[in-house]
Amino acid sequence: VIPSEDAHGSEYVAPSDKRREWISGFTGSAGQAIVSKTQAYLITDSRYWLQAQKELDENWHLIAAGAPEAPKDWVEWLVDRAKNSKIGIDARMITHEKASQLSAQLAAKGSKLIYPPQNLVDLLWKDKPQRSKERIFIQGREFTGKDATAKLAELREWIKAQPPATLSYSQAPPTPAQVHVGTLISSLASIAYLLNLRGQDIPYNPVFQAYLYVGLDRAILFIEAAKVDEEVSRYLEGLNVERRDYNDIWTFLRRREWKEGKVIISPQTSYAISLMLTHLRYTVLPSYVEEMKAVKNEVEIEGMRRAYLRDGVAFVRWFAWLEQKLQQGYEITEYEAAYRLTEFRRHQKHFMDLAYENISASGPNAALPHYTPTRATARVIDRETPYLNDSGGQYRDGTCDTTRTVHFGRPTDEQCEAFTRVLQGHIAIDSAIFPEGTTGKALDVLARRALWQDGMNYMHGTGHGVGSYLNVHEGPHGFGIDVPLVPGNVITNEPGYYNAGKWGIRIESALVVKRVTTKREFNGDIWLGFDRLTCVPIQTKMVKESMLTKEEKAWLKVRHLVTT
């Protein structure tokens, strides 16, 4: 099995970790390659089916996970076929949670996972890129709103608050071996957040490859020395964070250098780490740092407001440029449009990079939710179908993610009806009010209800958490996820509709969860709603007003910037 992820479970990976892309030729960010003695398979979800069909050669079989009559994911596909089999995987590239579940399912089929001492793809990949040695840098308090010292202290209080790992029926006091003494963090975004540091190891994601052990009285950052300059070295000393080489993590684990006691790991920690620790030495708990990171403080929220305002300025200036060029008769390709938008963003204050590759799509390409154009194969933006742009900038004060769909000609009735249904779902989420404890999953139906009325739907999620100058996809919350939304969560609202082979529509804005005052205040001050961060107009050319309710028309006129 050749996963997409790296040793830290990252969704987007460094060039040196793109093993699945190298072996298969498939460039999407999600999917698993599985190679047997006689066949090769690529399993991916609906966002990438059409892209995978184009990119895979005749050696590969595409498995469309989630399609009718198809397995829901690669695990189900593999378990269904396993019989007295040995299945190899690099233990660093699979999470503790997934490996534990998969091992149990395979055991029932007389099969088991095997962990080769070396990654088999690495043995074949002769011109494999070197691991990044880019310098890391400090993300100041003017952007984070909270010192790393305070974050570390809060994490240590959480470690102390975890009950000892005693047997439920035992009356004896806990032994030193049962007490929690630290946590090992492997998530790159969590390490960057906790230490207020950022890096440049993964394109579009300001993170750096490292591990972090936080004990009650010591902390150790495992990172390549070349990445740490004098300033950052002094900063880490000031935090009482020791520094050791990246690969020293395995020595640290093997020698049990924290001495007695249990180490807390998250379910997303690599299985290689839990194998090295052995089950007597660790406790698996949801990541507390993920929870901390997901609740933005006032400084982070204000920073994101400013970032979205500047990003919106760039988006609107670019849209005016594009519209003018097309009206003048110029032929603009999807690639050139994306390139020009990046140039508009580069002129904004605090711009660091893009948040992800520009999705710039016209005609049938817009029906591919994650299509990115190349200079050689990009289509000319036409005037018969909607044009979809999903993009955003990485700024020191916030990460942006915006999608708008526009039409440069005369839209058809079918396009207008689809756009209006998508817009109705977008409005329903944007204006939702809900009590504390409501999960993103409970609200998801609001985005789909209008589409469902006409027998339409979309196969991707309705929205995800967003980082504060960190990863554009952030957990643990999201629409479609059973995690309660709380004030300070930032989340995207992005329903869509894709007419395969013809055109696609998506509207996406970023929202922050806030407390709201309601008329009746049943059960007190428990009501929540959303504040919109995105500052980009929605084109109304494809809106069928006759389909809108009175409230939806009012939302368009009063609550949102609109452009004709």
Average pLDDT (349-373) is 95
Average pLDDT (445-459) is 97
Structure tokens that stand for 87 in this block = 């299945």
| Whether pLDDT at 168 is above 90 | no
Q: In the chain, what are the domains? A: 15-114 (3.40.350.10), 137-165+175-292 (3.40.350.10), 298-559 (3.90.230.10)
- DSSP 3-state assignment of 55? helix
Distance of alpha carbon 486 from alpha carbon 437, whole angstroms = 8
Count of other CB atoms within 10 angstroms of residue 390: 24
**Contact (Cβ atoms closer than 8 angstroms) between residue 468 and residue 399:** yes
Q: Where are the alpha helices (DSSP H) in 8-58?
A: 19-24, 49-55
**Contact (Cβ atoms closer than 8 angstroms) between residue 40 and residue 154:** no
| Whether pLDDT at 353 is above 80 | yes
| Whether pLDDT at 562 is above 60 | no
**Contact (Cβ atoms closer than 8 angstroms) between residue 488 and residue 295:** yes
Torsion of CA 528, 533, 537, 540, to 10 degrees: -20
Instruction: Give me the percent of the chain exceeding a pLDDT of 90.
Output: 92
pLDDT digits (tens, 9 = 90+) for 212-259: 999 999 999 999 999 999 999 999 999 999 999 999 999 999 999 999
345 φ, ψ to 5°?
Answer: -70, -40
Q: Smallest Cα–Cα separation from 353: which of 311, 300, 315?
A: 311
**Residue 180 neighbours by CB under 8 Å, 6+ apart:** 159, 160, 162, 164, 165, 261, 262, 263, 264, 283
Average pLDDT (162-179) is 85
pLDDT digits (tens, 9 = 90+) for 273-306: 999 998 789 999 999 999 999 999 999 999 999 9
Length of the chain in residues, anyone? 564
Burial label, 237 (beta-carbon count in 10 A; 0-12, 13-18, 19+): exposed
**Contact (Cβ atoms closer than 8 angstroms) between residue 393 and residue 372:** no
Instruction: Give me the percent of the chain exceeding a pLDDT of 70.
Output: 99
Distance of alpha carbon 523 from alpha carbon 560, whole angstroms = 31
Whole-number pLDDT of residue 180: 96
pLDDT digits (tens, 9 = 90+) for 30-81: 999 999 999 999 999 988 888 899 899 999 999 999 989 899 999 999 999 9
